[in-house]
Chains A and B, each alone.
Chain A
Amino acid sequence: MLDQRSRTAGSTTAAGLIVKIGVLAVVAALAVWAALPLIAAGAWWGLALEAAVVAVVFYVYLQRRAVQLKYLIPGTLLLIAFQILPVILTIGTSFSNYGDGHRVDKDQAINAIVAAGVQQTPGGTTYLLAVGESAAGELTLLLTDNADGSTWAGTEAGLTELEGATQDESGRITAAPDYTVWDFAELNERLSEVTELAVPTGEETGIKVQGLSAFEGVSTRSYDEACDCITDSATGTTWYADDETGTFVTDDGRAALVGWRVNIGADNYLAVITDPDIRGPFLGVFTWNIMFAAGSVLFTFAIGLGTAMALNRPGMRGTKVYRAFMILPYAMPSFAMLLVWAQMFNRDFGLVNDLFNLNVNWYGGTWSARAMVLIANTWLGWPYMFLISLGALQALPSDSLEAAKIDGATGVTAFRKITLPLLLIALTPLLISSFAFNFNNFNAIELLSGGNPFKAGDAVGGTDLLITYAFRQAFGSSSADYGFASAISVFIFLIVATISAVMFRFTRNQEDVYS
């Protein structure tokens, strides 16, 4: 009997076999498709990795012993690729100075600095200039060769041919795949960045911008390996490489525009503690972040529980209608409702000032903006609290409530001594995960206030959370500092991890009491 069972459990039906062969064939086809670009680019490490993944997949589905792996492998692969790997990379980046001015490696940085000293030579190639940003936010010159009309994309890393660009009559590029082309207004605004940029094209040649065109010429600068320095023969300036900060610096401390990416150890973390320009705002953001998360949980829970208590009465008329309407704010698309709230708090035409006859500039003051954010976030969150409170109330053991009644506890006392503690035991995990969610509630801040109000010259807004602050450091309009942004991300990881660890401990202890 047992023998037969294990045999039949291992056997496969014809249909099952066909499905399995079909799925593996698709995997094999995908693998071949994925391998071609890797081979073409000579990315052997990538190819080896891909081969390993495919081998694992085939092995798992062809073996018979560890059946659970067949069910776990798809999710696990995605988890590793798009959750675990990004986390590891984030930690890695947090120890580097990666960001604007430190995007490339040292050789490319040298080439770029040398190219910046380019002087026009007679008969050199000239280009029509357009400027844009790559998908990764990198400043790029979009060039049209005046002689033959070919199109090129140049960055501080070098020149690549550009295909599929749209040009106007003069031949200037107006649109290109994967690039956002600037209009004249934006070009004017950031002209200084553009004129500083130089595209290296060879050992001592490069392309420089002049007005709305660009030229290729020979540089007066040269790199000397012996002293690890760059000398400009025209001006006599010498930049020496500083491998610790990843920059070229002159003797009197002026740094060249382009540096390279180096490991700077824990500097990004230490900056939070040691740099007073960062420490002050950072502490403010951190405190407000906790206030925001705690306040959101408190207000939503208070209103949600209150309404749930009110509706938790068998035989009350209209409860179904009430409940249906109370879910509405939860069912509305939250991103859109946040934007609606942002408009409702408009100073001149907003509904809130209108209804209450106020003239508050909600976005202007730190505390009014914070109140605004909390009000809107409470509106978004309370129906959820209402739902879970109602569920928990109805699941309360009725014997303890009756026992309390017999002992003479009524109304407020019964609620405070019996109902609330029992509710909290059931709901604590959800309350804590709600806290964790609101701690990183990027949408609420970004869509409502965008971090406003900003004091002049401050990088941190009055309603900024750590996550919006980190996001702006990396992707904001000013220069990108991925290293520092990653360090803040790791910091947030640690806080949330601590919260969840505490939650595990806490709920486990509570469950012992409960059962």
Chain B
Amino acid sequence: MTHAVKPRRKGRSPFVKWAADTGWRHVVAIAALVFGLIPIIYVISAAFNPNGTLSSTSLLPTGFSLNNFQRLFTDDNVPFAAWFANSLMIAVPAAFISIFISSLAAYAFSRFRFKGRRPMLLFLLLIQMFPAFLAVVALYLIFGSIGEFYPVAGLNTKLGLMLVYMGGALGVSTWLMKGFFDTIPKELDEAATIDGASHAQIFFGMILPLAAPIIAISGILAFVGTMNDFILASLFLTDRPEMTLAVGLKTLTADNSPASYFGIFAAGTLLTSVLTVGVFMSLQRYIVSGLTGGAVKG
């Protein structure tokens, strides 16, 4: 077989051979990169554009100024620092708590055998197919009446929004973590039990540290998902200084906002992405394995 192929290859010039073998791969990759990077380059160009208007922005920067960044923090109508802080204040605790709650449930599903275990697992998969915002009307009414009794957690409060995000704690991440917990040998639990460890000690002292990578990934996905949420946040937070980044930045591109806000918006986008891109890049390897690990477990 190999003999039949060899003579044919010898006849080609080295360039054709390279092109057929690796060259096209670079062409495809570069084409995809061009498509992928143009909007990002555009944002960078807009953020450093001295005028800040859409009409004066082109793909490649024509000037350089930090004007937009400066206005981002000084313009009274653009409380960017407050938005940024709000987003973090909501997304970080919501991600932490929901991942903690989710890992508790994953431990129960992985290590205990009880009645209703399988149906409940399937139910979790089904309910996560219904994104929380499909029930926006109901959530709106629920939090309207919660607010009557507990103003701290009603509409237009961070706590209320966090509660909604945490309501979705059990879901995909529970499955991901359960899959990972399953790969931790049960013999370890048994050994620990014989040594006198309680179930809580096994979970907090052994399983959680061993499962750190998957917990990190789930936490980051939850964090980024919360940061990107628009519909619930726009419904809950209507006061300008209370908004999250998603809701606040959207107002900058609204039809009735000044044209020069586009540059400010781009600068804000850039600052927001420093956070998310940094997180993604530092954990690139885990993300690839985490996503496909979930695929196999499905």
Give every chain B residue within 8 A of A339 (Cβ-Cβ).
249-250, 253, 265, 269
Cross-chain pair count, CB within 8 angstroms:
309
Give every chain B residue within 8 A of A84 (Cβ-Cβ).
127
Interface residues of A, dominant DSSP: helix
A318 within 8 A of B: yes
Do residues A327 and B253 form an inter-chain contact, with CB atoms below 8 A? no
Do residues B235 and A475 form an inter-chain contact, with CB atoms below 8 A? yes
* Given A90-B137, A336-B273; A178-B127 close (CB under 8 Å): no
Complex Cα distance, B262 from A495, in Å, reads 39
Give every chain B residue within 8 A of A344 (Cβ-Cβ).
39, 42
Give every chain B residue within 8 A of A144 (Cβ-Cβ).
none
A340 within 8 A of B: yes
A124 within 8 A of B: no
* Given A346-B54, A443-B228; A67-B292 close (CB under 8 Å): no
**Chain B positions 250 through 278: 1 when the CB is less than 8 Å from some CB of chain A, otherwise 0:** 10010000000010011011001100110
| CB of B223 to closest CB in A, whole Å | 11
Do residues B55 and A348 form an inter-chain contact, with CB atoms below 8 A? yes
Complex Cα distance, B107 from A418, in Å, reads 38
Complex Cα distance, B233 from A161, in Å, reads 29
B186 within 8 A of A: no
A234 within 8 A of B: no
Give every chain A residue within 8 A of B53 (Cβ-Cβ).
349
B289 within 8 A of A: yes
Complex Cα distance, B108 from A157, in Å, reads 48
Q: Chain B: which residue is nearest A343 at the CB level?
A: B54
Complex Cα distance, B101 from A67, in Å, reads 15
Complex Cα distance, B280 from A355, in Å, reads 30
**Chain A positions 464 through 503: 1 when the CB is less than 8 Å from some CB of chain B, otherwise 0:** 0001000100110000001001100100110011011000
B136 within 8 A of A: yes
Partner of B58, one of A327, A354, A475: A354
Do residues B249 and A46 form an inter-chain contact, with CB atoms below 8 A? no
| CB of B126 to closest CB in A, whole Å | 6
* Given A78-B167, A497-B129; A90-B25 close (CB under 8 Å): no
Which among A188-196, A264-272, A279-287, A385-393 touches the partner chain? A385-393
Q: Chain B: which residue is nearest A488 at the CB level?
A: B134
* Given A354-B58, A388-B291, A391-B288; A329-B198 close (CB under 8 Å): no
**Chain B positions 83 through 120: 1 when the CB is less than 8 Å from some CB of chain A, otherwise 0:** 00000000000000000011011011000101000000
Classify chain B's interface size: 35 or more
User: Within residues 58 to 106 of chain A, which ones have a CB less than 8 A from any CB in chain B?
Assistant: 66-69, 71-72, 74-76, 78-79, 81-90, 93
User: Within residues 140 to 184 of chain B, which ones have a CB less than 8 A from any CB in chain A?
Assistant: 140-142, 144, 147-150, 154-156, 163-164, 166-170, 174
A367 within 8 A of B: no
Partner of A326, one of B32, B148, B194, B249: B32
Which among A197-205, A208-216, A245-253, A302-310 touches the partner chain? A302-310
Do residues B249 and A493 form an inter-chain contact, with CB atoms below 8 A? no
Do residues A68 and B167 form an inter-chain contact, with CB atoms below 8 A? no
Total interface residues on A, using CB and 8 Å?
118
Complex Cα distance, B147 from A507, in Å, reads 44
| CB of B110 to closest CB in A, whole Å | 10
Complex Cα distance, B297 from A430, in Å, reads 11
* Given A325-B33, A343-B262, A429-B295; A135-B147 close (CB under 8 Å): yes
Give every chain B residue within 8 A of A351 (Cβ-Cβ).
38, 42, 57-59
Give every chain A residue within 8 A of B147 (Cβ-Cβ).
135, 178
B125 within 8 A of A: yes
Do residues B33 and A322 form an inter-chain contact, with CB atoms below 8 A? yes
User: Within residues 14 to 40 of chain B, which ones have a CB less than 8 A from any CB in chain A?
Assistant: 22, 24-26, 28-29, 32-33, 35-40
Partner of B130, one of A325, A426, A433, A493: A493
Complex Cα distance, B174 from A8, in Å, reads 29
Complex Cα distance, B255 from A346, in Å, reads 12
A136 within 8 A of B: yes
Give every chain A residue within 8 A of B280 (Cβ-Cβ).
327, 330-331
Complex Cα distance, B249 from A91, in Å, reads 34
Complex Cα distance, B280 from A9, in Å, reads 41
| CB of A285 to closest CB in B, whole Å | 15
What are 25 sample pairs from A and B whose C-beta atoms fall under 8 A apart?
Answer: A16-B201, A66-B114, A75-B105, A78-B170, A79-B167, A82-B167, A87-B138, A89-B142, A90-B138, A136-B144, A325-B36, A331-B281, A332-B269, A336-B249, A336-B273, A339-B265, A343-B262, A382-B32, A390-B288, A395-B296, A408-B1, A440-B131, A492-B134, A493-B134, A496-B130
Instruction: In the A-B complex, list the 6 residue pairs whose CB atoms are closest, starting with the nearest.
Output: A82-B167, A391-B292, A86-B135, A331-B280, A89-B138, A429-B298
Q: Which residues of A contact B (CB under 8 A)?
A: 5, 8-9, 11-13, 16, 34, 37-38, 41, 43, 46, 66-69, 71-72, 74-76, 78-79, 81-90, 93, 135-136, 178, 180, 303, 306-307, 309-311, 313, 316-318, 322-337, 339-344, 346, 348-351, 354-355, 379, 382-384, 386-388, 390-392, 395, 406, 408, 426-427, 429-430, 433, 436, 440, 442-443, 446-447, 467, 471, 474-475, 482, 485-486, 489, 492-493, 496-497, 499-500, 504, 507
Q: Which residues of B contact A (CB under 8 A)?
A: 1, 22, 24-26, 28-29, 32-33, 35-40, 42-43, 53-55, 57-59, 101-102, 104-105, 107-108, 112, 114, 122, 125-127, 129-142, 144, 147-150, 154-156, 163-164, 166-170, 174, 193-194, 196, 198-201, 203, 224, 227-231, 235, 238, 245-246, 249-250, 253, 262, 265-266, 268-269, 272-273, 276-277, 279-281, 284, 287-289, 291-292, 294-296, 298
Apart from A335-B229, A336-B265, A336-B268, what 18 extra A-B contacts exist at CB < 8 Å?
A86-B142, A87-B130, A93-B137, A310-B32, A324-B284, A327-B281, A333-B224, A336-B245, A339-B269, A341-B39, A343-B253, A349-B57, A387-B288, A387-B291, A426-B296, A430-B295, A443-B228, A493-B134
